Chains A and B, each alone.
Chain A
Amino acid sequence: MTATRYPSLRIHCPCAEPVTDGQVAELDSATTSTSPDPAPETTTRLELPPSLESPFALHALNNLYFCDVCMVLRCERCVVEEVVQTYCPACLHVYSADTTGGANEPSKVTRKGRGDDATFCTRNCLQCPSCFTNLIMFSPSASEGSESSGTVYLQCPHCSWDSRRRPRSLTFSKHSSLYQQLRKISVSAMSDDYSDTSDQPTKRFSALSVFYQQLYESLDAEEEESGPSAPPSPLFSKRANRSLETIRFLKSHYSKQGGSSSASSPAVTPASVLSAFGRAGGVSSQKRREYEEREKERCVDYIDEEAEGEEALRVRGISSLDGTPTVLQQLANPFGRPTRSSDLLPLPTRLRARRAKRCRACRHILVRPDVSSRKVSSSSSSTSSIATGSASTVATAFRINLLSKNYIPTLRLTYLPSTSPAPASSPYHAGFIPHITYTFALTLFNPLYEPIKITLASPPRTPKHSHLITFLTPSFEIGPNIEDDWDLHALASLRTKFADLKISGMANISASPESARGGPNLGILDRGRNWTSVIFEVVPAKSRNSEIVVPLFVSVAYEAEVEKDFTAGGQVGGAGDGGLFDKERREMAFWSVLRIGRVIS
């Protein structure tokens, strides 16, 4: 939308990568500790996915889904969509709806009313052809407000386009089904523009037959001339031969039909055809010059005034674009491509769809809108909910909605001004000074009901400008998200804590009880019920105006309670603790990209 706001965090979806099983295993094992103290794990080399720098592979957390069967993130590009409901965005009338509720039942689409399979709203929703606003219906005879059966006209509430102000005034004979009326009008309008329609096919036919006749003759002549001396390249010869055959066939076909070869000027030379098949390379330079000359002729003679008629002449005479519709206006018109703004007809409104989304790998439903209500949302219910002060309205209801933020930890970055020469104000916008250690608190929130074990990993230096990154605690635990309330309280406490830190400086961090213990808790700044803050440091390298982009690998492991599968047969859940639930170890991992700011020199 605008320039990057710092800090920003985007999550990498690996769907752009050609991932093999081996690579997955490698990724899982690549939980390298980048801390300066010797890590207990074996230091395997951390490989960055190639698409980590591609914007299309990076997503905001809120744009991602999570497949809880595959245990992977799914982005817009790696879900399969299916239409659940189509509706008109203007009148919100539902045209078709898939009312089956079950997650994996085959969909049964019920059509409602006429206009099945419609792509346009078949009621009275028409759009302004010049500004795409919904048009309003007026009746000239009736007084305001009262129903009338007379003719109606349309007006745009935004640009004051008026259907009566066209050269051919456009009025509708009745109040209902304007779309059907518009279709009839547009068909007649089209035939008006090409009034000599009866004459058209024969004219076109004779023109085509002349063209192919000449093309064939010139090709024959050319083949005789440069046959053996310039053999066509073997790669293209087959295709060229086939095209020659086609042309021969067409020629014989048209000559049988009796096309008259009365036209004098050659319409198209074989040069373009030959060059399209790559044979132009085998032609001598002198011949090419001939071709070029003929090509020039072709361009001049291309517009055949008699054949193209009045419309082409008018277009040729246009000196300014006043009164000419924009490309957008032309393309929006489903009935044709009018070349005059005054010819534009109202546009039917295209239907919109509410879609369900499935995991591309396992077909598990990730998102399914609730379409039980006939309207997309009924305004009456929303008003009543306002009056009573109750919760959300039906429009945004989903039966299934597996959002990534309910499955993977959310991250927050807070700047900690230290006693070192780092400035006290936040460096995100002021910029970073090279060779100064900046300290941040990275807070991870656990959305799950189980405690999770986090392993962070990043290369010791950023790939592009080699800024130094240090995570003091690459591996730690976060408590469960037991109470499902807003983490605003947590955030508030975090705020005050960090505010204290800002006052007393970094000396407190090293003296805090968590880190004083040393060992695994070294570098843990603070922790709450379902969040943990860890320290991470950045030392910018001296490269002017370079962006500090930190690739961060987050791996999450936890033990989930799953219901014991008694149906699958005897020996499930051999742990023998007799409960209804089994512990199952689950792991997931993802790459993220943290943009912190720019370096000033």
Chain B
Amino acid sequence: MSRRQTRGEYIETESGNRISRKAIILGSQHILLGGRSTILPECVVRGDLHRPSSASSTGAAAASVNIGRYSFLEKGVVIKPPFKFYKGSLVYYPLKMGNFVSIGANSIIEAATIGSYVNIGSNCVVGKFAIIKDCVLVLDGTVIPSTACIPPFAVVAGNPAIVVDELPESSAEVFERRARHIHALHGATLTSMKIAEVKQSVFDDDVDEEFDLMHDFTVNS
């Protein structure tokens, strides 16, 4: 164990995923990472909560958590597949996330589907079986009720979530760029910085100022 930890605090997979050793990943055989995703410390990904293995024999079909490319889970994010009672028993359903999804610190995700180019703020709750379509910005502290559906290009906020604004047509490009940038920046900081500083450096204004100067929306809330 001690030799492993000297190798770094992140496990880097072949497809470029970075998973913190301090993240809690359960049932990893049921978790599918698309590549170049990052999971920061203290995240919880519950791959062990999966459908009873009656129909699941092939790999992809059995996945209970599906995370796309260039996803970024900040510190303390909980990803938990949704469940419901079906014929008297508890059944878990798979959770799918698209590409270029970033989730802010301490958010709890129990959605059924999250599209691509979705930014979820910190301290959000995404309820069971919620569907978030592509190009959605979820502001900090939003509570998306269970079974809710968030249409594409929406900005949602509040408890319960209400569409407060609309994103411009450029948002897919912007989110993609941001996701790639954060991934690259995170990789760069890993080599020279301590893990505790990584998150700070990625989202700190001081480091990120050049980026945010132009790549910023005007959002009413």
Query: Which residues from chain A sit less than 8 Å from chain B, CB to CB?
Result: 1, 5-9, 59-63, 65, 87, 89-92, 131-134, 136, 143-145, 156-159, 352, 367, 376-377, 379, 382-383, 385-387, 389, 391-393, 395-396, 398, 401, 403, 405, 410-414, 426, 428-429, 443, 486, 488, 491-492
Inter-chain CA distance A125–B216, complex, in Å, is: 34
Tell me the count of chain B residues lying within 8 A, CB to CB, of chain A. Answer: 66
Residues of B within 8 A of A385 (CB): 68, 98-99, 116
Given contacts A62-B168, A405-B170, A429-B205, contact A491 B148 (CB under 8 A): no
B218 at the interface (CB under 8 A from A): yes
Least CB distance, A369 to chain B, in whole angstroms: 8
Inter-chain CA distance A1–B145, complex, in Å, is: 23
Provide 29 A-B residue pairs closer than 8 Å at the C-beta atoms, listed in order of the A residue. Answer: A5-B216, A62-B168, A62-B170, A62-B171, A62-B214, A63-B170, A92-B149, A131-B160, A144-B88, A145-B86, A157-B146, A157-B147, A158-B127, A376-B151, A382-B96, A382-B98, A383-B96, A386-B96, A393-B98, A393-B115, A395-B116, A405-B173, A405-B214, A411-B214, A413-B210, A443-B210, A491-B210, A492-B184, A492-B188
Contact B162 A426 (CB under 8 A): no
Which residue in chain A gives the minimum CB-CB distance to B15?
A: A389
Contact B216 A8 (CB under 8 A): yes
Contact A62 B174 (CB under 8 A): yes
A-B pairs, top 9 by smallest CB distance, nearest first, are: A158-B145, A395-B134, A89-B151, A396-B172, A62-B170, A158-B160, A133-B145, A157-B146, A412-B210
Q: Which of A133, A143, A156, A391 has the most CB of B within 10 A?
A: A133
Given contacts A90-B149, A134-B147, A158-B160, contact A1 B209 (CB under 8 A): no
* Chain A residues touching B, majority SS: mixed
Residues of B within 8 A of A131 (CB): 160
B87 at the interface (CB under 8 A from A): yes
Query: Which residues from chain B sit less than 8 Å from chain A, CB to CB?
Result: 32, 34-35, 60, 66, 68-69, 85-88, 96-99, 113, 115-117, 127, 131, 133-135, 139, 143, 145-154, 160, 162-163, 168-174, 176-177, 180-181, 184, 188, 205-206, 209-210, 212-221
Inter-chain CA distance A8–B216, complex, in Å, is: 9
Contact A426 B209 (CB under 8 A): yes
Residues of B within 8 A of A89 (CB): 149-151, 154, 163
Residues of B within 8 A of A5 (CB): 205, 212, 216
Number of A-B contacts (CB under 8 A): 173
Inter-chain CA distance A271–B162, complex, in Å, is: 46
Inter-chain CA distance A486–B152, complex, in Å, is: 25
Contact B180 A486 (CB under 8 A): yes
Which residue in chain A gives the minimum CB-CB distance to B219?
A: A1
Residues of A within 8 A of B149 (CB): 89-92, 134
Q: Which of B32, B134, B160 contacts A396 (CB 8 A)?
A: B134
Residues of B within 8 A of A143 (CB): 87
Given contacts A133-B148, A392-B172, contact A60 B113 (CB under 8 A): no
Contact A132 B160 (CB under 8 A): yes
Q: Which of A391, A392, A414, A426 has the most CB of B within 10 A?
A: A392
